[in-house]
Structure 1
């Protein structure tokens, strides 16, 4: 009996395989502790891309439209349908290895899903590039495009970009060099050689150039800021917006959100604290911002555990905005552009306070640690607090300034008169 059990265990272990390998895996199911705090932020609303949400009954309506896009792409392609499908089938083992979850699809089923979704994505961007979107069901209705564009950045809703690029290059091989067709890298995947998928691309676009070439110095410490935004103001710190507007996966309405702001590469993280002024780039706060931040933070947790720059930023802003009053400070300064209705200060504070919850932090960027140290040191300096009190109590308006100045002059004259009187005696 024991030998039978041993044989069964041996047979079972022979079939055992790791769920994914760290070298090839890049598309992840969001870890449950992170996902449970906001399920909707990680789940597609209109369109599934890739195998992880394929077959979801809520998304079946868009399947026919994806197939329509795919058909249009094949019609404009110079490669045959057979050649295009064969290209994907050759890549199937590499594609399967990109996903952290075991894909319960046969080879042919996975090839079909990946092929249709890649063709849909390519034709979607080509339509936008060519501005042939007037009668299109996605582009003609802003709410549909907004939902689709949000779905395209979800970590669980991705296909590997190397597959999209292979299909594109095969379909338009003779047109890519001087033939009037943009290269795949330009629409808008400028750095596709080093980018895994759309979520990764979006993260890249929001890192300063220095972060993408040389990893910044990090220390094995948690980020802790002892003073919130309203407390910093009371201590004399000024908040100033450095640009407006800047990022978001911010949609440029004239180009349906595909083109990046040329002047703002990585500006979201470009914070500075100099001479008592904390400079922070502008960021819009709405439901799409939460989706954008949550999915990039989830990617960093899974794929960049030692380089989570966006998470550092989110945690820092979360420390600044511990209360509604704190959020109001950043909104008033123009740093947060709030699109929420109702109790918007509370919603902003909850947004930045919630995105970083249940994340694991092993290191923190040294520059953010320095921000916290410098801000705390500034606050505890008695001179700064005194000057802030004087400004707040005596120089907040022209009338108060005039009255305070008059009082100071009167005090000086009184002192002079007293001294002169004493000298005469």
Structure 2
């Protein structure tokens, strides 16, 4: 009898466990909005590479860094900006806030689904207040930026706030920002018909490729990114006809390519500065950094690219710049690589007869003044030996 009771007990435990798992899966399915979280904390493996690169420096946007005490001081600036925005409108302040809160409250569950890894739990009232406050602040900041005005007359705040707005962990959903835009800035009678166009001056300011024409992908289209950072991603999304595959072999470094006769030419529109690495490492140009990582192994490679004006090095040290480029892609596997055709051309060039041997000669005999002097001395000595041999033969 005891043996049977044990058997039945095991069955009950198994069935109870299975049912608990089924309930968990069904509950998650019922809460799903067919939306993966688009705003989340960067995984630890990436954060450890540069801990300061992923945290806002001045202002907290959204719930993920709301409890950071170092950012609390800016809340009064934020409230002042919201005050200025609301009093710029013709409609009463309370009426505008009611319209904003109503729109946000109707989407509160969808808003929650956009976030993963909240540092604390917020009720519907607190979350709605946060969305309206942060959304109004962002719009007022961009409005002032476009008009050439500074936050509270403090020019030192402008740039750090600007870059804080483009941190993955420091976002609010784009659909929330758009609803608040429709309730506020849009009513000012601006010529800008869409939120994307309204944000365009900010995107132009941080644009690393001035005049690239990429902004045309935003203007006049129904762009619906996840957040402001997603809008920046869209700006640099390549056209669908660009092939994307990974090179089957690595190419020589920049210095070795230079020895093989490869001439580096700068992008005439490039404004990227290595001094801004901490800011730009969060943006969607990983395949570019990956290409640079393959080109740069030592400080000589950085010197070659700087001399060719491909890079602008504001680090002050080629060695430090090389270390940055070699470390920026650690633990990261690029999804796309859009330089595969150029890589194939370089590989073919470097493996052909003359470039390979010219590179060897330059590396062996022309890599320092002393080697050049020794080579010239050897050539002269060889020539004199030949001449002496000829005269010796003639006189005998």
Normalising by the residue count of structure 2, what TM-score does the alignment of the two structures yield?
0.74
Q: Contact 2:274/2:321 (CA < 8 Å) preserved in 1?
A: yes
Q: 1:93 to 1:108 in 2, by over 3 A?
A: same
CA contact (8 A) 1:223 1:369 kept: no
Tell me if structure 1 keeps the 8 A contact 2:35–2:113.
Answer: no
The CA distance in 2 between the partners of 1:337 and 1:151, in whole Å, is 24
Match of 1:292 in 2: 280
Query: How much does 1:386 deviate?
Result: 4.5
Q: Does 1:81 align with 2:97?
A: yes
Residue in structure 1 matched with residue 125 of structure 2 by the alignment: 108
Q: How far is the alpha carbon of 1:224 from its aligned partner?
A: 4.2
Separation of aligned partners in 1, 2:301 and 2:33: 43
RMSD: 3.4
Aligned to 2:182: 169
1:198 corresponds to 2:228 = yes
- Is the CA contact 1:229–1:326 (under 8 Å) kept in the aligned structure 2? yes
**Contact 2:259 2:358 (C-alpha < 8 Å) held by counterparts:** no
Rounded to whole Å, the distance in 2 between the matches of 1:326 and 1:20 is 50
User: Mind listing any 5+ residue stretches in structure 1 that lack a counterpart?
Assistant: 248-282, 298-309, 419-425
- The CA deviation at 1:329 is 0.9
CA displacement 1:146-194 (0-9 Å, x = unmatched) = 221221111111111221111111224544466xx77533222473723
Shift of 1:59: 0.9
Residue in 1 that maps onto 2:203: none
* Runs (4+) off by over 6 Å: 18-22, 389-394
Could you say if the C-alpha distance between residues 173 and 389 of structure 1 is closer, same or farther in structure 2, counting changes exceeding 3 Å? closer
Which region of structure 1 is more displaced relative to structure 2, 9-18 or 152-161?
A: 9-18
Asked if residue 242 in structure 1 is aligned to residue 267 in structure 2, the reply is: yes
Contact (CA 8 Å) 2:174, 2:225: kept in 1 or not? yes
Name which one, 1 or 2, has greater alpha-carbon Rg: 2
The aligned residue for residue 322 of structure 2 is: 349
CA separation of 1:73 and 1:157: change in aligned 2, threshold 3 A: same
Would you say 1:359 and 2:368 are equivalent positions?
no
Q: Residues 241 and 162 from structure 1, CA distance in 2 versus in 1: closer, same or farther, beyond 3 angstroms?
A: same
Q: Report if the CA contact (8 A) 1:290-1:351 is conserved.
A: no
TM-score normalised by length of structure 1: 0.70
Q: Kindly indicate whether the alpha-carbon contact (under 8 Å) linking 1:20 and 1:99 is maintained by their aligned counterparts in 2.
A: no
**Residue matched to 2:168:** 155
Long gaps (5+) in structure 2 = 1-8, 201-214, 391-396
2: CA distance, partners of 1:239 / 1:388: 16
Alpha-carbon distance, 1:203 to partner: 2.5
Match of 1:313 among 269, 288, 304: 288
User: Cα deviations across residues 377-422 of structure 1 (Å, max 9, x unaligned)?
Assistant: 211222124556788979x99xx9xxx9xx9xxx9xx9xxx9xxxx
The match for 2:79 is 67
Q: Secondary structure at the match of 1:241?
A: coil
The residue number in structure 2 matching 1:117 is: 134
Task: Specify whether residues 225 and 21 from structure 1 end up closer, same or farther in structure 2 by C-alpha distance, changes over 3 A only.
Answer: farther
Aligned with residue 228 of structure 1, among 240, 249, 253: 253
Question: Equivalent residue for 2:6?
Answer: none
Residue 329 (structure 1) aligned to one of 301, 304, 308: 304
Name the SS for the 2:172 alignment partner.
coil
